[in-house]
Amino acid sequence: MVKIIPLTKEYLARASELADSIFPHEEILPSKAFEGSVDEDKFQDIVQKFYNDLVEIEYFIAADENDSVLGTSGIYSLDSDEEDSCWLGWYCVHPDYRGQGLGRLLMNYTVDEARKRGKKYLNLYTSTNPNEAEAQIVYERNGFYITDQKREKQGDYEIFYRRKNLG
């Protein structure tokens, strides 16, 4: 039995280990964002060092009956965003559990949480990195479309943005 719950300090190390292993080349590792979501002092550090307009951040985990973390997801908002918009953050599923519907459960939970906060749009950024090819399929299946704005190059890959209408 899998449960989807908000990330707590109890699960922090396990969630960080999973997400950092899935996203090892990011400038800001998921573990830093996770720490900021469960500790107000760490949140302020993140705001000062990385996201000066971060106003809200919360992460969720998928855990099994043994309290193993099988997936992560979250939402965050920036002061510069539209009022009715937020971002999907560090969405991933452990490779051993992909293709079993866990990602769909985690995504649905995250979308519901965004709606509870009165959001009409859920945004994400991704890239043309071949390691993210399967993720693009997941995003398409979940109704995320590529927006026309904010395309940019980062190294060998193109960064682009997707949006899902929640209304």
In-domain check, residue 150: no
Single out the residue of 24, 33, 22 nearest to residue 89, CA to CA. 33
In-domain check, residue 79: yes
In-domain check, residue 132: no
* Structural domain total, the chain: 1
In-domain check, residue 64: yes
Specify the range with the lowest mean pLDDT, choosing from 54-63, 89-98, 130-139, 144-153. Answer: 144-153
In-domain check, residue 139: no
pLDDT, one tens digit per residue, over 101-126 is 999 999 999 999 999 999 999 999 88
Say what the pLDDT of residue 154 is: 65
The mean of the pLDDT values for the chain is 90
Range of the domain at 102: 3-122
Name the DSSP letter for residue 27: S
| pTM of the predicted model as reported, rounded to 2 decimal places | 0.90
Element (H, E) at 125: strand 121-127
Count of CA atoms in the C-beta half-sphere (13 A) of 77? 16
In-domain check, residue 160: no
In-domain check, residue 88: yes
Q: What's 73's domain CATH number?
A: 3.40.630.30
Q: Which residues contact 154 (CB under 8 A, 6 or more apart)?
A: 127
Q: Note the helical H segments in 50-153.
A: 102-116, 133-141
In-domain check, residue 164: no
- pLDDT band for position 157 (cuts 50, 70, 90): confident
pLDDT, one tens digit per residue, over 49-76 is 777 788 889 999 999 999 999 999 999 9
